[in-house]
Amino acid sequence: MRHSNDPARHLDEQRVIEDHAQTAQKLTLYRGSVGVWGNILAQARLPMPVTDLFYIDTHCGAGRHGSREHPDEWVIGTPLIACHEARRLQRRYPRIKVHVRAVDRDRRWIAHLRQHVQPFLESNHERDRVDVQLFAEPFEKMLPELLAEATSHNAPSLWFIDPHGPKIPYSTVSLLQGPERGPEVIINLDMLGIWRVDAAARNRVDERFDWILLGDPAAQRCLNELFGGRQFWENIADRSLSFRDNMPKLAAAYAERFQRFQFRSHYPLRASHSQLRQIIHLCHSRIGREKFHDEYVRSQDFGVLAGRHLDQVTRAHAARRYWQSYRGEATSLDRLFGEGTQSFDRGQIRAISATADEERYARYDERQGMIHWFDERGVDPADEVYQPTLFNN
């Protein structure tokens, strides 16, 4: 891996995910929820069947996170998770076309991500090609445009809003409050971002709420913008308690700002490095709320605590071992289970097979239950020679 201070790498690529429980939980939750969301809509019996779906990531970064335990020393981030889930849905449901849109104001990270998404744009298999578009623009500019695009397709859309700090003005995010077949929204709310500098925030989270905010006009302005007005947060907090203890109250008040969503929930992420983040989930469907809650509960147990729900690193190592044993062959799930070369149950083998497809060891046909192991592992597009023309919008 490159040096941790390499300016050519996004902060996510420099940090080791195993040391950031909050990020690991976020990725686990997102991976589970995007697949469930797409399956629910693809199978829904509606007067007008769903033919198009949109995954929209408004603060996508470069698409990778550093890892010391993964065999490649990195794991994929939310925009690439969306691409892989889009491909899986298209293979499983021939009538469905999935569109992935990713936004970041920094052109460097869009350039990095554009390399990683090339296989989804250029695949020889029709159902493997995904409509991926990347935008080096502020999310405030792109949100109305992307919302209009999804609306023009009469398509459900799943929005992931994950800024560094609470730089998500309510005046912009509130545009997503649409009809029942409209957006579903996941917001990773970083309340400590009101101080801009993490070191300062770590020193203040256990101070009383009134001591902090009454003397900090910049923090007050930030909360005003986030909530869409001082009146929506000022009287929510218990000023005798610490900022940390008030986080659930503030997250609940923020979720309640979006009254046009029938179901509004908030969930704490694991604390890491004194960060305080809450996941806000906004949707119109009771089953959507219940399934997201299930994925949140599952996301609390990862790594050595994951049990039978294998984490990404464990699946990656298992996929590599299967490839080394079966390279060049086509195997069924039943064969892998029956031969028992690794001690996994059928559900775990299905998850490992999906990871093998994702990490270029094989092509996994879920409908047939077959894995076609490659003779040689597929090329990582980020390792290919960079062609400047690929980065033009």
Q: Are 15 and 66 within 8 A, CB to CB? A: yes
Q: Would residue 265 be called left, alpha or beta, if left means φ above 0 and alpha means ψ between -120 and 50 degrees?
A: beta
Query: Going from the N-terminus, what domains does the chain have, and what CATH number goes with each?
Result: 11-303 (3.40.50), 312-381 (1.10.10)
Distances (CA, A) of 121 to 35, 128, 133, 336, 377: 20, 8, 10, 31, 19
pTM of the model: 0.90
Q: Give me the pLDDT at residue 382, please.
A: 64
- What's the average model confidence in pLDDT over 132-136? 98
Which stretches of the chain are assigned E, i.e. beta strand? 52-57, 64-66, 74-76, 97-103, 131-135, 157-161, 183-190, 263-268, 277-283, 330-332, 362-365, 370-373
Q: Are 163 and 7 within 8 A, CB to CB? A: no
In this predicted model, what pLDDT tens digit does every residue of 328-386 receive, in sequence order? 999 999 999 999 999 899 999 999 999 999 999 999 999 899 999 999 998 887 655 33
| pLDDT band of 114, cuts 50, 70, 90 | very high
Q: Are 225 and 169 within 8 A, CB to CB? A: yes
> What average pLDDT does the structure give for the chain?
87
Q: How many whole angstroms separate alpha carbon 190 and alpha carbon 275?
A: 8
Q: How many whole angstroms separate alpha carbon 120 and alpha carbon 128?
A: 7
Which stretches of 181-247 are assigned E, i.e. beta strand? 183-190
Among 75-89, 244-258, 370-384, the minimum mean pLDDT is found in 370-384
